[in-house]
Structure 1
Amino acid sequence: MTDTTLTTFEEHRPVLFGIAYRMLGSVADAEDILQDAWLKWSAVDVDQVAQPRAYLARTVSNLSLNRLRSAAVQRESYVGPWLPEPLVTAPEDTAGDVEQAESVSLAMMVVLETLSPLERAVFVLKEVFGFSFGEIAEMLDRSEAAVRQVGSRARNHVQARRPRYDAPADTRRRVTEEFLAACMGGDLNQVMALLAPEVTAWTDGGGKIRAALRPLSGADKVARWILGVLQQPLPEPVEVHPILVNGNPGVLVTAAGVPDDVAVVDLDEHGLITAIRLIRNPDKLHHVQPPSPR
């Protein structure tokens, strides 16, 4: 192994992490994939690789596909709604790491979860990272015609299911803060005033911590459930941290310094909350750190 081997891998690490994370929806699994990819790369004669980015992307894509097929079986028995592991940074890090800047919203990650493994790979490689269909066909050992067909199907699927409105970050941050204040104050009327009538809440506890086992729909049901959860005592001190969740304003709640949940909301064009995604499964929060005091 030469210095060039390591330098080249590190140069492309942000893209490789982005591919693996979008494929798997797991920070831990993405890091595992990068470790496996590094072991393969370190055994290669780098001077003989004409296009390192494409070569490494192929390695990571195929490792991710193998992992994703086994993960699909595990998710069939997952307790309650499944949400991705969040990518969390401090609000000040608006540019953030390249991985964070390139990451997609939780809403989009959930849409990607509905694709087949092959559709997901083609969509991520083409629509997010700009590889050509010819390059993707070579990476995935498929014909270019077949990859184009898969790519078209995946793109249509995503477009039909992706959120129709992307609220500005400052609006999302303001509404998130207002919603949190109303919840912490136990103000049912104010909580409901911030919710769209058709709001849906997904709470991911993985069967390990209190969470709704099915998506909750409707402002009254969602508001009462959230206020009920907040009545449960948590180890002191309980702190609320403004954060970026996959690039969007959200909040991290810690209890005695340990992450309890990460939450992010989606808004409609009127500034009302249409979706709440609350991640409480402790296995998905191991990598989450509260923002450092500034």
Structure 2
Amino acid sequence: MSDTDLFQRHRNRLFGLAYRMLGTPADAEDVLHDAWLRLQAQDTATLDDPEAWLVTVTTRLALDRLRRAKAERERYAGPWLPEPLAPEHERPDAVLERDESLTLSFLLLLERLGPEERAAFLLHDVFDYGHADAAAILGIGEDACRQRVHRAKARLREGRPRFQVDASAQRRLLQRFVEAMRAPGMDTLQALFAEDAVHISDGGGLARATLHPLHGAERLARLYLQLARHGEGRDLRFEIATLNGAPALLLREGEALTTAMWIECDDHRITAILALRNPEKLARLFAVTNPPGPSSLH
């Protein structure tokens, strides 16, 4: 098998791992490019398990990049949110293990973990490597790997009470949110949110966004009432779409995509709004270059 065939055979799995590690498609693609260069410099005939070699190289490259990214995100202007996959990555065969571990809410939850914990957790719990195999990939002892996975699960449990994947409830509440924004009223908007709801917005210092999380149904309702009134008379369009396997809301002004929003919810109310407004991240979404489809809401 040629190097190209070998790499392409495992590329989707490698991308899925790198993206979950880094939360940014461009960074994941950079990691895969570096892994490809290392493969070209390697005599693959000497490899007992080429897939394990590729996963090991990809994991360690992603770890190095994530350590640098953690420092950069500490200096980020306001909250940092993961970047959605463009639709070309949403093919059924594009990434493996397409469960909640690919949703944007879960990627944000992974930010609670240190780089080493994140890698160990993903290898063991998402990509189904045993502790011994995951330890070998990470270059650590099996007991150390087991401890990292245990700590990661404990940290993730701390954030999980607010995390629920219910596509039908998300889509229903997004529809109600759009209706409330089209006929804004304080009571209507406030009724959408749980009392302890949180709003997180990522503008990256390049677009207007809240610099700190906002908490409480009343504060969120006042924010969106102000935004709705500010948008009166402008060419604003809402589109309910699917990002990373979950319902999301795209807001366009003219043909420009200005916001990608996803929510966490219980059966009846929104518990969190995550609004991506950083134009550099939005520019990489395939949706921005295409006219809205029939699901657009004017």
TM-score where L is the length of structure 1: 0.90
Match of 2:32 among 8, 31, 34: 34
Residues 40 and 85 of structure 1: is their aligned pair in 2 closer, same or farther, counting only changes over 3 Å?
Answer: same
Corresponding residue SS for 2:286: coil
1:258 and 2:256 are equivalent in the alignment: yes
TM-score where L is the length of structure 2: 0.89
Q: Deviation above 6 Å: which 4+ runs of structure 1?
A: none
Match of 1:122 among 117, 120, 123: 120
For residue 110 of structure 1, report the CA deviation from its aligned partner.
1.7
Counterpart in 1 of 2:3? 5
**Inter-partner Cα distance in structure 1 for 2:5 and 2:223:** 50
**Inter-partner Cα distance in structure 2 for 1:179 and 1:233:** 15
1:14 and 2:23 are equivalent in the alignment: no
Identity of aligned residues (%): 36
Counterpart in 2 of 1:272? 269
- Give the conservation status (yes or no) of the 8 Å contact 2:178–2:238: no
- Give the conservation status (yes or no) of the 8 Å contact 1:195–1:272: yes
For residue 239 of structure 1, report the CA deviation from its aligned partner.
2.8
For residue 4 of structure 1, report the CA deviation from its aligned partner.
2.5
Residue by residue, what CA displacement relative to the aligned partner does 1:36-63 show, whole Å, maximum 9, x if unpaired?
1111112223333222222111111111
**Inter-partner Cα distance in structure 2 for 1:20 and 1:234:** 42
1:210 and 2:208 are equivalent in the alignment: yes
Corresponding residue SS for 1:101: coil
- Give the conservation status (yes or no) of the 8 Å contact 1:19–1:61: yes
Counterpart in 2 of 1:58? 56
Q: Any gaps of 5 or more consecutive residues in structure 2?
A: none
- Letter aligned with residue 275 of structure 1: A
**Inter-partner Cα distance in structure 2 for 1:156 and 1:211:** 31
Q: Any gaps of 5 or more consecutive residues in structure 1?
A: none
For residue 234 of structure 1, report the CA deviation from its aligned partner.
9.8
Residue by residue, what CA displacement relative to the aligned partner does 1:76-122 show, whole Å, maximum 9, x if unpaired?
111111111122549xx794733693552222212211111100110
- Give the conservation status (yes or no) of the 8 Å contact 1:87–1:100: no
Residues 95 and 237 of structure 1: is their aligned pair in 2 closer, same or farther, counting only changes over 3 Å?
Answer: farther
- Give the conservation status (yes or no) of the 8 Å contact 1:58–1:139: yes
Corresponding residue SS for 2:121: helix
- Letter aligned with residue 281 of structure 2: K
**Inter-partner Cα distance in structure 2 for 1:234 and 1:259:** 17
- Letter aligned with residue 202 of structure 2: D
CA RMSD of aligned residues (A): 2.4
For residue 237 of structure 1, report the CA deviation from its aligned partner.
4.4
Aligned residues: 289
Match of 2:95 among 98, 115, 127: 98
**Inter-partner Cα distance in structure 1 for 2:93 and 2:47:** 30
Counterpart in 1 of 2:129? 131
For residue 260 of structure 1, report the CA deviation from its aligned partner.
0.8
Residues 250 and 163 of structure 1: is their aligned pair in 2 closer, same or farther, counting only changes over 3 Å?
Answer: farther
1:281 and 2:278 are equivalent in the alignment: yes
Counterpart in 1 of 2:152? 154
Residues 85 and 118 of structure 1: is their aligned pair in 2 closer, same or farther, counting only changes over 3 Å?
Answer: same
- Give the conservation status (yes or no) of the 8 Å contact 2:56–2:138: yes
Match of 1:169 among 160, 167, 170: 167
